[in-house]
A and B are shown apart, each in its own frame.
Chain A
Amino acid sequence: GAVVSQHPSWVICKSGTSVKIECRSLDFQATTMFWYRQFPKQSLMLMATSNEGSKATYEQGVEKDKFLINHASLTLSTLTVTSAHPEDSSFYICSARPDRPLFGNTIYFGEGSWLTVV
């Protein structure tokens, strides 16, 4: 099946530093990718929609200056958590929808990235 790769799988950083998470679609092109965060025992909450070649669309309540999204190519989107604080510690997951649907309108998820801010 289609693969979406995230890197790093887990990262620990100091409070006040910035962390970049990459999301790559390995065998398809995706003009649109999505970033979610998931707190323990809670559901996935959409943070933003990443659009190749244009600005990301952020969900209500998500600080765009804190969570910088860059979608530089049709296979890569990055999420940068700037000036990270302990409350930003969470599981960040990306997803991508193939520009040419592989199986219906399926959206594929990455393996997720665990961020711990100390």
Chain B
Amino acid sequence: QKEVEQDPGPLSVPEGAIVSLNCTYSNSAFQYFMWYRQYSRKGPELLMYTYSSGNKEDGRFTAQVDKSSKYISLFIRDSQPSDSATYLCAMTTMNTGFQKLVFGTGTRLLVSP
């Protein structure tokens, strides 16, 4: 079993839709959770980061962490064609100084105009 599971997609939605991206994990020591966006042939770009359980909102993006279920989500409101990319969840522990990231496989999102 992988430490972090993420549906690879692709997930196709029309412009304006609400998108829900999810990851599950098995290591209860993970405390710091991140979402990265990666365009084709580019390096990952940090979108959101959260520490422990709860919600965090930034513009059209909301990150949610449920540690009891070992489940994290990223919601995108009013999705745009420019949001089409691969979204990677990543997480890390205090044991590694919050440095060693474990990534999900990424979910490919396609937003059609």
- Give the B-binding residues of A (Cβ under 8 A): 4, 6, 32, 34, 41-46, 49, 91, 93, 95, 97, 104-112, 114
Can you report 22 residue pairs joining A to B where beta carbons are below 8 Å apart?
A4-B43, A6-B43, A34-B100, A43-B6, A43-B88, A43-B105, A43-B106, A44-B103, A46-B100, A49-B99, A49-B100, A93-B44, A104-B51, A105-B32, A106-B46, A107-B46, A107-B101, A109-B43, A109-B44, A110-B43, A112-B43, A114-B41
CB distance from B97 to the nearest CB of A (A): 8
Interface residues contributed by chain B, number (CB under 8 Å):
22
Highest count of chain B CB atoms <10 Å: which of A91, A107, A112, A114: A107
> How many residue pairs between the two chains, A and B, have CB atoms under 8 Å in the bound complex?
53
Q: By the criterion CB–CB under 8 Å, are B41 and A91 in contact?
A: yes
Q: Which residue of A lies closest to B96 (CB)?
A: A49
Residue B7 at the chain A interface, CB threshold 8 Å: no
A43 with B103: in contact, given A105-B32, A105-B98, A106-B49 (CB under 8 Å)? Answer: yes
CB distance from A102 to the nearest CB of B (A): 11
Q: By the criterion CB–CB under 8 Å, are B100 and A44 in contact?
A: no
- Chain B window 91-113, contacts with chain A (Cβ cutoff 8 Å), 1 for yes, 0 for no: 00000001111011110000000
CB distance from A73 to the nearest CB of B (A): 19
CB distance from A40 to the nearest CB of B (A): 10
Residues of A within 8 Å of B101, CB to CB, are: 34, 44, 46, 95, 107
A46 CA / B34 CA spacing, docked (Å) = 16
Residues of B within 8 Å of A114, CB to CB, are: 41
